[in-house]
C-alpha cells in the first residue's frame, strides 16, 4: 500500500471543494482560464481567499486592508516583524500592489499533495487569522509596539 497522492490541479481542487461544500460551507470558482480559485468560506462570514494551484504548491492568500488605511504603517510593520511567530504562526504577512495601491496580504503555502481535509483546515486557519488580525490590530486599532 502506498501513501503517495497525486498533485491537485486547479480543476480537481475546485471539484473536491465544491463536493464538500454541503458539509463545509465552502464555495469555489475558478477565475477564468487560470490556476487561480476564489474560495468563499461561509462559516467565516463569507470570507474570500484566493488560491493559486501550482505544480508543487498551493498558495492561499487573503487581502486584508490598504496600507494607507493603517494609522502608522511603519509602527505596525515593525510590531508585526517582532511578533509574527506568536500572532500568525502558520501564515505570513506581505505588502502587495493591487491596482496601484499597497495592501497587506496574509498568505500560506502547502503541498499540492495535501489531503482535502488539511486543505480545508489551512483555508479556515488563514481566514480566522485574517479576521482576528483585523479585529485586534487592523485599521483604527492602536498598536502598543509590543504584542505579548
Predicted confidence (pLDDT) per residue in 88-125, tens digit: 878 999 999 999 999 999 999 999 999 999 999 999 99
Number of other CB atoms surrounding residue 58 within 10 Å: 24
Residues making up the chain, counted from first to last: 148
Confidence (pTM): 0.84
Angle (CA) 11-96-50 rounded to 5° is 20
How far CA 109 is from CA of 52, 73, 78, 88, 92, in Å, comes to: 10, 25, 23, 13, 9
Q: In the structure, what pLDDT confidence band is assigned to residue 145 with cuts at 50, 70 and 90?
A: very low
Amino acid at each position: 500500500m502506498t501513501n503517495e497522492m497525486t498533485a491537485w490541479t486547479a480543476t480537481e481542487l475546485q471539484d473536491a471543494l465544491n463536493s464538500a461544500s454541503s458539509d463545509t460551507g465552502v464555495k469555489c470558482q475558478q477565475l477564468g482560464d487560470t490556476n487561480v480559485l476564489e474560495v468563499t468560506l461561509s462559516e467565516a462570514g463569507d470570507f474570500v481567499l484566493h488560491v493559486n494551484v501550482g505544480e508543487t504548491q498551493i498558495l492561499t492568500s487573503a487581502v486584508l486592508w490598504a496600507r494607507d488605511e493603517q494609522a502608522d504603517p511603519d509602527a505596525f510593520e515593525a510590531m508585526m516583524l517582532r511578533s509574527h511567530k506568536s500572532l500568525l504562526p502558520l501564515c505570513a504577512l506581505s505588502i502587495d500592489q493591487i491596482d496601484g495601491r499597497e495592501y497587506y496580504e496574509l498568505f500560506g503555502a502547502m503541498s499540492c499533495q495535501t489531503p482535502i481535509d488539511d486543505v480545508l483546515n489551512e483555508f479556515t486557519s488563514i481566514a480566522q487569522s485574517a479576521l482576528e488580525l483585523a479585529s485586534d490590530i487592523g485599521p483604527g486599532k492602536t498598536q502598543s509596539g509590543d504584542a505579548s
